[in-house]
Amino acid sequence: MPNIRLRITGMTCEHCARSAEDALNALPGVEAVVSFADSLADIRTPDPLDQGLLLDALAAVGYRAEPMDDEAPWANIPGNDGLHIAIVGTGSGAFAAAIRAVEEGARVTLIEGADVIGGTCVNIGCVPSKIMIRAAHLAHLQAHHPFPGISAHTPAIDRVALVRQQQARVDELRHAKYENILAANAGIELVRGWARFEDTHTLSIACADGTEKRITADRILVATGSRPAILDIPGLSDTPYWTSTEALASTRIPGHLTVIGASVVALELAQAYLRLGSKVTLLARSILLSREDLAIGEALVRVFEEEGARVLLHTVPESVSHDGTEFVLSAGAEEIRCDELLIATGRQPNTDRLHLPAAVETTANGAIVIDDHMRTSVEGLYAAGDCTQQPQYVYVAAAAGTRAAINMTGGEAALDLNVLPRVVFTDPAVGVVGLNEQQAREQGMETDARTLDLENVPRALANFETRGFIKLVTEKKTGHLIGAQILAPEAGEMIQTAALAIRNRMTVRELADQLFPYLTMVEGLKLCAQTFNRNVEQLSCCAG
């Protein structure tokens, strides 16, 4: 009987080893002994036996294995024999890069100093925030829906139960999308500890047990993400202020929450807490969403104020203190007292503890400067995601990670960010892509634009939700669509249609001639496109 030795990944205890052993011994004629300590399976098999049956049996019970011979998964891919890539970080960009690099034939070492893998999005960002926003939206609808035939009432909020459910889904997704993938991929090794550069190919890892580990790699990718940026306000550092991390995890709904910030995180969390029962004061350094079309920020001020929030524009506190019970903010002649203070004024890259090589070009705040191939100014050193000057969106980080892996393994892949759809999950939501009028003018373009209020969109009327608008911007000479700004309940679901139209250089007339299903909110894009040549108020429903 032939002898086979397999390296098994994914086992966490002796029980796992027994489970793997039972799965192998269940195959006809197979005799297997599995060692948890060595992560090995020693197997005697009948001849002949397809080794794939062994791997499939282990995969069925949750483990990945590879033969302990020359048939490692990267060994037979031309050009990458023995190529070793080290990736600092385990977020979306890092994992996308790791998976693709192994597919391209490399061996990958992931390095993570935090307690959990997965980065910001799944753990303390996108996923928990959208769960919280959805719960707050449902609470708001119970008390403020537009249908008189259904009794409205203010619901009782059990924040402890909401946070428990939220964290359970976070844990589930992290396990499915990160931990399981890591366990199932024999080409990826995880090293726990904080990394710093010794030279352009060598990393020193400070492990949790106090030891140091040195890793030398052919290529290194930095994908360390970002963290909340904190304003330099006198007294703030001595107070127990919240960042988004604490705001999402808090099991208490504050009586009065003050939010300093005016962009995505600030607006999403401010409205969520407002709808869960907090009194909310929002302080903006300038205006809301200052990088977007001015009409969006102006409309959101009205939305927040209609829902009971207080919005103070062009306001930053001169000082902050905490008396043991309350925060006290001095803002001009006014004193603001609140139970909790959320600082949501942007994010800064996690690069300060890396000891980056001096030749690596960075911005003033430490973001690593990269080109469209994710190459830094140092040969063999790449970066992706929020630690770079790229837009800080998880889907940008993942796309960058994949392309970085292709390039690190000898390929040629660029990341084109010219058409980048963006969403703010307020209610109504914000969806934007391409250029607004001001941005186009700054590029020397002559534009034409139309704005359609949601009162002219049949689905919005049917929903009794007409707050918002759709705005399309074209290049006047050619009629090509170059930008879209949407404020609508389903803006996040609508904006990709506009993005595809811009990507494919459609004219506004071509967009107007497309067939859109009725009744849908995205039909509003067609209606807005029609306003460039027609008065939609004079058209029948679903007019073609």
What is the per-residue pLDDT across 262-316, written as a single tens digit (0 to 9) for each?
999 999 999 999 999 999 999 999 999 999 999 999 999 999 999 999 999 999 9
544: pLDDT confidence band, cut at 50, 70 and 90? low
* Fold agreement between 3-67 and 422-538: no
Contact partners, residue 432, CB within 8 Å, separation at least 6: 292, 293, 296, 421, 422, 483, 484, 485, 486, 495
3.30.70.20, 3.50.50.60, 3.20.20.70, 3.40.50.1370: CATH of 236-345: 3.50.50.60
2: pLDDT confidence band, cut at 50, 70 and 90? low
At residue 76, the pLDDT reads 38
Q: What is the pTM of this model?
A: 0.84
517: pLDDT confidence band, cut at 50, 70 and 90? very high
18: pLDDT confidence band, cut at 50, 70 and 90? confident
CA–CA dist 43, 25 (Å, integer)? 9
Residues 136-154: what's their mean pLDDT? 97
At residue 541, the pLDDT reads 65
CA–CA dist 99, 108 (Å, integer)? 9
DSSP code for 518: S
Q: Does domain 422-538 have CATH number 3.30.390.30?
A: yes
Per-residue pLDDT at 69 exceeds 80: no
Mean pLDDT of the chain: 93
pLDDT digits 0-9 by tens, 172-187: 999 999 999 999 999 9
Q: Is the peptide bond before 458 cis (omega within 30 degrees of 0)?
A: no
CA–CA dist 42, 3 (Å, integer)? 7
Q: Which residue has the tokens 């679903």?
A: 542
Contact of 13 with 62, CB cutoff 8 Å:
no
Per-residue pLDDT at 189 exceeds 80: yes
Which residues are part of the catalytic machinery?
Answer: 11, 13, 16, 63, 121, 126, 541-542
73: pLDDT confidence band, cut at 50, 70 and 90? very low
pLDDT digits 0-9 by tens, 338-370: 999 999 999 999 999 999 999 999 999 999 999
Q: For the ranges 52-66, 179-193, 202-216, 373-387, which has the lowest average pLDDT?
A: 52-66
At residue 12, the pLDDT reads 63
Q: Which residue has the tokens 């931990």?
A: 179
3.40.50.10070, 3.50.50.60, 3.10.180.10, 2.40.30.30: CATH of 77-227+346-417: 3.50.50.60
CA dist 48 → 125, 188, 275 (Å): 51, 30, 66
Give the N- to C-terminal CA distance of the chain in Å, as an integer: 73
> Domain coordinates of the chain in residue numbers?
3-67, 77-227+346-417, 236-345, 422-538
Q: What is the CATH number of domain 3-67?
A: 3.30.70.100
At residue 469, the pLDDT reads 98
Angle between helix axes 92-103 and 394-408 (nearest 10 degrees) is: 30
At residue 14, the pLDDT reads 72
At residue 37, the pLDDT reads 64
Per-residue pLDDT at 13 exceeds 80: no
Q: For the ranges 43-57, 58-72, 386-400, which has the lowest average pLDDT?
A: 58-72
User: Where are the alpha helices (H) located in 283-390, listed in sequence order?
Assistant: 294-306
pLDDT digits 0-9 by tens, 90-99: 999 999 999 9
CA–CA dist 475, 389 (Å, integer)? 28
